[in-house]
Structure 1
Amino acid sequence: MIWFLSDLAGNPEALLAVFAAVCVALVTGIAFHEFSHAWMAYQLGDGTAASMGRLTLNPVRHLDPLGTLLLFLVGFGWGKPTPVNPYRLRTGPRRGNALVAAAGPLSNFLFAVLAALPLRMGWVDVPRSLDRIGEATGNEVLGLFLFYIVLFNVILGVFNLIPIHPLDGFKVAVGVLPRQAAVELERLAPWGPGILMALIAIGWLTPFNPLGRIIGGVGSRILELVL
């Protein structure tokens, strides 16, 4: 996000407005994402997260320092992992884990759709120019915040569905693949964090940004649908 905000360095009012909107979008998006993991686990019979105070929308319970830092630096990251005991899930560990994992990204897409509704229906407007944000009406300020809630919830949803451990997409893939393929995929789990950080580093240090292309490509299609 730093590179994104740097474009507004010459306009303090726009910088402050966008920074505030992005912070609200990220904090609420992470909280909703992790709450949804805890809620789904609870619905399936595992109260581990609930007993640890994670069945709440309070962002403080869900923010992960590294994941939040990456969100601000590169625009995608994660929240504090929600504890789940897969053997308590009524649907079985593999399928249950996949359902709990899928609940997070799907909740971000749902949040994006709900936030996009006032924009799509024309009930609120996005400021036409950030250069004159100081003259924006309350309606336009609300539109700005809703726009970034939509944008970053789509980013969170798409990023977390990438099938690399420890992202949610990995658990979803393990849960839906045939058993033998799932076993082979699980063997790659220890390498997941390293692969993920390597992909992030490649995007930072070279012109080729694989994660950015995936998130940008899929995310732009979703944004076209909801906005």
Structure 2
Amino acid sequence: MDPIITIFSLVILLFSVIIHELAHGYIAYSLGDPTAKYAGRLTLNPIKHLDPFGSVILPLILFISGSPILFGWAKPVPVNPYNFKDQKWGSLKVAIAGPITNIALAVFFGLLIRFIPSSFFISFPGMFLMFSYIVTINLVLAIFNLIPIPPLDGFWILFKFIPQKFEKLTIFLHQYGIFILIFLIFFGALQNLIFINNLFFSLITGI
């Protein structure tokens, strides 16, 4: 991957994961939980959101290994579900806010690609590149975060509907989820992510 494109992708990735976490924080705040606000996490300041592995090490490993896509995550926004006004569905709303935000960004910029005249992008090819990367990265983030393995959002969404009889499985995933996730990233998940991303990219942009 070209170094300039890599830097460009990393900047888009960084702000996409920050917006993802901000969505969690703001929804939690709207539900009555000020934890993220008190922790200083309701900000676009990237330093507040950097996760050593998810924001730095993983993207670098993917870059060095020649991965066709870059992705990662920010430090999770702290929430206290006991503060939620909606005790039944509050946790679900907070969990789903991040992926929905990424999907919304992908759809918005994807529709711009679809409906803005091609002559504009011929005149300004950099805009097409930027929009394409925003769509791609946000789709990847949404799909990746919907994997039902902790600490990803997909687990907390699924957790709301897991019967009590699967408690041992839940405990196991809490203990070893991050290791399962790392294994999947480097041994198979990337190809599936690329395939699903390409499918939705074409669906949204018409390309």
Give per-residue Cα distances to partners, 1:21-47, cap 9 Å, x unaligned.
312320221111010010110111111
- Secondary structure of the corresponding residue to residue 176 of structure 1: coil
**Is contact 1:71–1:78 with CA below 8 Å preserved after alignment?**
no
Aligned to 1:63: 50
Which shows bigger deviation, 140-149 or 214-223?
Answer: 214-223
Aligned to 2:65: none
How far off is 1:73 after superposition? 2.9
| Pair 1:162-2:157 in alignment | no
Gaps of 5+ in 1: 9-14, 128-136, 204-208
How far off is 1:89 after superposition? 1.3
* 1:49 alignment partner, one of 36, 40, 45: 36
Aligned to 1:172: 157
Aligned to 1:112: 106
Give per-residue Cα distances to partners, 1:37-58, cap 9 Å, x unaligned.
1011011111100111212233
**Is contact 2:16–2:138 with CA below 8 Å preserved after alignment?**
yes
- Secondary structure of the corresponding residue to residue 71 of structure 2: coil
**Is contact 1:98–1:176 with CA below 8 Å preserved after alignment?**
no
Matches within 5 A, 1:51-130: 51-69=38-56, 70-74=58-62, 75-92=70-87, 95-123=89-117
How far off is 1:106 after superposition? 1.1
- If you compute each CA radius of gyration, which structure gives the higher value, 1 or 2? 1
How far off is 1:100 after superposition? 0.8
**Is contact 2:92–2:160 with CA below 8 Å preserved after alignment?**
yes
Aligned to 2:136: 151
How far off is 1:172 after superposition? 0.8
Amino acid at match of 2:98: G
- Secondary structure of the corresponding residue to residue 23 of structure 2: helix
CA distance in 2, matches of 1:218, 1:71: 20
CA distance in 2, matches of 1:112, 1:33: 12
Gaps of 5+ in 2: 63-69
Aligned to 2:196: 218
Matches within 5 A, 1:25-36: 25-36=12-23
How far off is 1:108 after superposition? 0.6
Q: Structure 2 vs 1, CA of residues 151 and 89 (structure 1 numbering), >3 Å: closer, same or farther?
A: same
CA distance in 2, matches of 1:96, 1:180: 23
| Pair 1:22-2:6 in alignment | no
- Secondary structure of the corresponding residue to residue 149 of structure 1: helix
CA distance in 1, matches of 2:117, 2:47: 31
- Secondary structure of the corresponding residue to residue 187 of structure 1: helix
Q: Structure 2 vs 1, CA of residues 193 and 146 (structure 1 numbering), >3 Å: closer, same or farther?
A: same
| Pair 1:37-2:24 in alignment | yes
Give the alignment's TM-score, normalised by structure 2: 0.85
CA distance in 2, matches of 1:23, 1:106: 21
CA distance in 2, matches of 1:186, 1:145: 39
CA distance in 1, matches of 2:33, 2:117: 40
